[in-house]
Structure formats: structure tokens, C-alpha cells
Amino acid sequence: MTPCALTLYAFSTAFVQKTRPACCIMKFPISTIAINSAITVFSCVVSVAILEAAVRYTADVPLFAVEDWRTVNAQKSTARYDSRLGWVHRENVRADSTNAVNTIDHGIRRNTLDQVETIEKQAILAVGDSFTAGSEVEDNESWPAHLEALIGERVLNAGVGGFGVDQIILRAEQLIPVVQPKTVLVGVLAPDDVRRAQFSSYGAPKPYFLPQGDEFVLRNVPVPRVKAEKTPVSDAIRRSMARVYSFHMIFSRLAPQWWYTRANVSDDAVSHAAQTYEKVANNPIQVSCYLFSRLGAKLSATGARGLLVLQHGGWVQARQHERSYDADELIQCAAEAGFGVVDEFDSLRTIVEGSLTELQSHYVMHDNNSVYGHMSSKGNALVANLIAEALKNPTAPAVKVAEALPTPESDGLNRLTATNITSLAHTEAQVLDYKPIHDGAIVQRLVTTDYDGEHYGALAWSGTDAGAYTFSVYIRSDPDTSVRLQLHDDKGNGVIADYAADTELFDLLRIGNSRKLRFRSEKARNGWTRLSLGATLEGTNGTVLIQLSKGLGVTSFGSPSVTLDIQAPMVETGISPSPWCHPTTCKTSG
């Protein structure tokens, strides 16, 4: 029993004993359990009421207001629903709070605190995520605002928090007809914004792109709205609890995914409250490069210039990590698409090598300087200076682009030394006798052992020159079986792909200095699927592995058994799989 319950119980018991006639005590006995229960309920109600009044007073919330505070929270958001992008900033927002995002037409963030601002044609257009928008700083402290003050030219800040590269490029395409910019600055936080392009919902529903041949096709447009549905009793209880502001304060922090599920929002609001994250079967780096190429072609047609403004989280510099693979790939493909590249990485690395405290001054720090937030006004000023220098030279890229290894079309020559899976530790390989999908391709079955560990088979390959290599294999499995494919060279480089047969989702992992990671799945007849995995490698010999898994990336396990039928493995030079051929019978190179 709580202290308040004990106090109320003692008071009420004394009162009853004092005022109740003795005759009544014997004649009308009252259950002790019932009294205790009533007192407990009453004390809890009083305690919650006192807590609610205190919290509302502290938060400056009206004492008697009855609202679903989840809904109120969504309505106060600066974001609104957009059928093509998922969400954008509301137009013409004016707020008095610190670091508020104040906007003009089309949700463009203001660059000043009090001056009248309009959208000017032939201005510089900046698109990106919250690092471009300038979260956690005032309107005049974002890097677009610093850049405008520095160069004396109008810079329109169209950054939107939570955007992936797909939304960022679509945002640019949405505003180019309105602004007719002379320069477009595409802000990207790497690797976060690249990886968001692999999601159909990132906090809230969003557009995404799926491969179709050599192109990518836009999906999920119009973007589905998040609306309340007919809900079970548990959701009705949650809606009732949401009218108690103290409950809202507690659960929105401790259990936001549960708390905000199916929260009501108005027609123009967007709710990230449900916090749903759903992946799709695409390669986000390939999607990003495709979209940069598409935007580059549009800018070239209008005579406008494009700059990639690459940013990185503070923890990358604090721990002195290398620049991410996603950033390296984006720099390469953006340059190929005609973009100049501005990257803050080297400037911040120089700063942290001199002083960690100085690095921290470039970010908004949290939790006693242990968590790096968005860039501070000082950090945004640094980015603006880098961009200003790049704008002075209309031709030279601001970042040196590494020379790319050749990526030729596939030559159709199978470079495996043999096609029989070699049994390695904790692997069983059983040869089956039914007809394969290709003449001359034996069918093998990988079966897990009882050993609690990894289960895989391997094949060796031998090439001639460094460059692009592609590993392909046909698989057949139960719908819920997953597989891991690995392609390695003899210099410590490679790529790993995890693939789920039921959803066709996949994840790619870079090993060493491999580049241009690729993966594709294609349905074949009789329940077979052809998987292909590729990368640009520095070595000319290596190994491929086919590994059993029980989930996307779960490769260490024992019983129950998992089986996988495989056939027609092939390693060839080039960027895409050719029709299968046996190493001893297929055509020679050239």
C-alpha cells in the first residue's frame, strides 16, 4: 500500500471507529477487504490528481483542459502531410519558442529572425534533412542562413528533418519549377540519409524506389496517411489515458512506439508517433546514385549547378572513424553526375586531432557532452564557409574523387575452379539426383548439423585483373529460409549479402576496400530464384561462400535443421550476371 493509502486508511479507520455506534458494528459488519480496496482506489485517484495538477502547472498546461495529448503533440509539429514526400514543413509558421522552425511559403525555413522574406527566383536552393534545416539552432544559425549572410545572395532553406536521399532529391525536383534556381545544394548526412532510402516507412510512411531493369521506379505515391482506425479495447484504454497529461509525459518518453500507436491526427498533419520502420528490397546506394544522376541531368538541361554537401555525425569524428562507405560511394557517383562535392570531413578531422573540446563546440551537445546532436551555429558556419569557397570555382570539385576501377559488362566466362560445394566446418553437403534447372549443373543441398554454429559451403574462383566481379547462384528453399552469400578476393576485400526468401529483403555489408556493391534477385521456374552479388575488387583470386541462416543475418545456430538447394554457381568479370555456363564448357574470354 502506498504512503498516501496508508494515511487515508488510518484516518478513515479511526473516523469509522469513532463515529459508528457499537450496535451497528455487530449488526452490519463491513468487509475489511472491501474497505482496503476502496481506500486504495481512492488514494490512487487522489495521488494521480495531485501529480496531474503539479505536472500541468509546471508545463504551463491548462488545469481543466481535456485533450488527447498525443493528438495535440502531432498538431503542434512543424511538419504536415505531403502526398509525394510523406511530410514537409508547414507554410508560414511563426513560433515564439527557442530554436523554433519558422517558415515562409512552401515550408521554406526563414534565414532571419525578424525580416520579411520571400521566395526569389534564381536563388540558391538548399535541400536536405535536419542538418540542412538546422535543427536545434535558431533560424539565422543554419548553414543556409550563414551562407546567405556570407555571400550576400538569397539561399532558400528547404531542408526537412528525417528525410532520406530519395525524399531529398524529390524535394529538389518539387521546388525547381518554383524557384528556378541557379544552384542546388543537396545536403546529405552520411550514412543515415542514404540508408533511409531503403525504407517505405521511416517513422512515418514515405516514398521509395524499387529496381526495374536498369531503372528505378517510384513507389508508395501518393504516400499513405497515418489515421486512427477501429481499435481494440487496449487502444481505447490508451486513448483514455492520453487525456491525462502526466501519463502522456511519462509514456511518450518511456514507450513512444506503444503510446503513439494509432494516435489521431488531422488531415494535414503527419504523425511520426507510431514510429514504424519498414524496409524494402532495394540497394539504397544504387537508388541514391540513380537519383543524383537523374537530378544532374535536369540541372544540366536548365544550366543550373549542383553541389553535394556531405555531412557526418559528431561521433564519427570523436571516435576518429573513417569516412563511411556510403559517403565514398555517394561522392563518386555525384561527381559522375556532374555535381561538385563539398565535404566537411577533413576540416572536422583536423579540429578533433587538435582538441576534442573544440570539436564539441561545433555540435549541440547533450547528456554532459556525451551525445552529439545537430551542428551548432559555429559548426554550420564552418559548413557555409566550405560551400562559399566551392561556389567561387564553378568547375573544380571541392573533394578529390578517387580513380574508379573498371566496371565492364559481364564477359560470361565462369571463373570458378569447380562447381561442387566444398564441405567446410560444421557443414553437410548432399548431392541430389533430380533434374537441375540448367543442363550440366548439379543440384546440391546444404543441411545444418546439430552443431550450434555457422553452416556454409565454399567455392574458389580465379580471375585475371582487378575490377568488377559478380557471383551468381540459383537457390530453392522454404519461404521462411534466409541465406547469406559472400564474395571475397585474396586481398581482404569483399561483400556479404543477407537475403530473406519470403520478403526478398536484403542487406549488404562491405569488407575491406571493395566498391560498387550490388545485389539482385530474380525468380526462375520451378520455385528457383537466382541471386547475384557483385563488387569492384582489388584482388584477382578468391572464394565465394553460401551460408545458411534462420533470419536476415542470423547465421549462428543449431537445430532445428535448415536446408537449402543450390545449383549453377558462377563467378564472372563484370557488373551483372550472364546466362550460366559450366567452367569447363563455357565460352572463352572475348
Q: Does residue 322 lie within any of the structural domains? A: yes
Show pLDDT as tens, one digit a residue, over the chain (590 residues). Answer: 444 544 444 444 443 444 444 444 444 455 787 787 788 888 888 887 888 788 787 777 777 777 666 665 554 567 888 999 999 999 998 887 777 899 999 999 999 988 889 999 999 999 999 999 999 999 999 999 999 999 999 999 999 999 999 999 999 999 999 999 999 999 999 999 999 999 999 988 999 999 987 789 999 999 998 654 445 566 677 777 877 878 777 876 676 656 665 554 445 555 544 567 899 999 999 999 999 999 999 999 999 999 999 999 999 999 999 999 999 999 999 999 999 999 999 999 999 999 999 999 999 999 999 999 999 999 999 999 999 999 998 765 555 555 555 556 788 899 998 887 776 555 676 667 677 888 778 888 888 877 778 888 899 999 989 999 999 999 998 777 889 999 999 999 999 999 998 889 999 999 999 999 999 999 998 889 999 999 999 999 999 999 988 878 888 887 667 788 999 999 999 988 999 988 877 765 44
Q: Which domain holds residue 535?
A: 422-573
460 and 543 within one domain: yes
Same domain (yes/no): 306, 383? yes
Q: Say what the pLDDT of residue 179 is.
A: 96
Contacts of 219 (CB under 8 A, 6+ apart): 200, 207, 208, 209, 210, 280
Residues 388 and 457 in one domain: no
Q: What is the dihedral of CA 519, 523, 528, 530, to 10 degrees?
A: -30
* 134 falls within a domain: yes
Query: In this structure, are residues 200 and 206 in contact, taking their beta carbons and an 8 Å threshold?
Result: yes
- Domain annotation covers residue 154: yes
* Together in a domain, 52 and 100: no
Whether 68 is in a domain gets the answer no
44 and 108 fall within a common domain: no
Same domain flag for 372 and 428: no
Residues 9 and 108 in one domain: no
Any residues with CB less than 8 A from the CB of 145 and at least 6 apart, and which? 111, 112, 134, 139, 155, 157, 380
Residue 43 located in a structural domain:
yes
Residue-level pLDDT at 400: 52
C-alpha distances in angstroms, 399 versus 287, 303, 375, 410, 513? 22, 22, 21, 31, 19
CATH number for the domain that contains residue 186: 3.40.50.1110
544: phi then psi, degrees, rounded to nearest 5: -115, 145
3-state class (DSSP) for residue 394: coil
d(CA 228, CA 266): 10
Same domain flag for 102 and 17? no
CA–CA gap between residue 144 and residue 117 (Å, rounded): 14
Total structural domains within the chain: 3
Q: What is the CATH number of the domain that holds 441?
A: 2.60.120
